[in-house]
Amino acid sequence: MTDEQGPPEFGLTWPIKRSFVTYVLGMPDGRAGAVEGAFPLPDLSVVFEHDPSVDAAALGDGWAFRGDVRFAGHFGMLFVRIADPWLVRTDDGVLLTIADPDAQDDGPRVPLATVTVEQTGAGEWASTAVALTAQGSELFNSVYPVGDPLDPFTLRVPVGA
């Protein structure tokens, strides 16, 4: 995963699931790419750029990020796309959603994981738990079961965002 630009000042820094990323990159035909606001880091994390252009009504009390990360391998049998993650507060906590990998730009969002976050500073938060939903498990072809942990992330947004 490479990109010529450096990571943005504000964003969601997330390794997604390092064991999965390492597995894909270790395959003879494994590929990973990050574009459109996603910036790979040497530690296999990705920074998804903060996206203040998303309508606040769509988010409620949450944050939107942009970027597209794709993993492929096994001669086309494996394909996972994680794009435009949003963190949305619900009555039950925080939900991490992504753009539907199979839909057009304005298609429905997929609930990838339930999340617990805590504020660590002004405009900064860190996850303490990230667990796959049923739809998140399906995204990984049910290799990882519902409730399986994804790697924790940090986020930084402009104060007041």
Amino acid letter, residue 132: L
Q: What is the pLDDT along the chain (161 residues), one digit of tens a residue?
A: 444 567 889 999 999 999 999 999 999 999 999 999 999 999 999 999 999 988 877 777 789 999 999 999 999 899 999 999 999 988 888 999 999 988 766 778 999 999 999 999 999 999 999 999 999 999 999 999 999 999 999 999 998 76
Give the DSSP per-residue string, 1-49: ---SSPPPSSEEEE-S-HHHHHHHHHSTT-EEEEETTEEE-TTS-EEEE
Which residues, including other chains, have CB under 8 Å from residue 139's CB and lie 6 or more apart? 80, 82, 101, 110, 112
**How far is it, in rounded angstroms, from Cα 60 to Cα 112?**
18
Phi, psi of 68 (to 5 degrees): -135, 120
Rounded to whole angstroms, the Cα distance separating 132 from 31 reads: 23
In angstroms, the CA 134 to CA 113 distance is 9
The pTM for the full model equals: 0.91
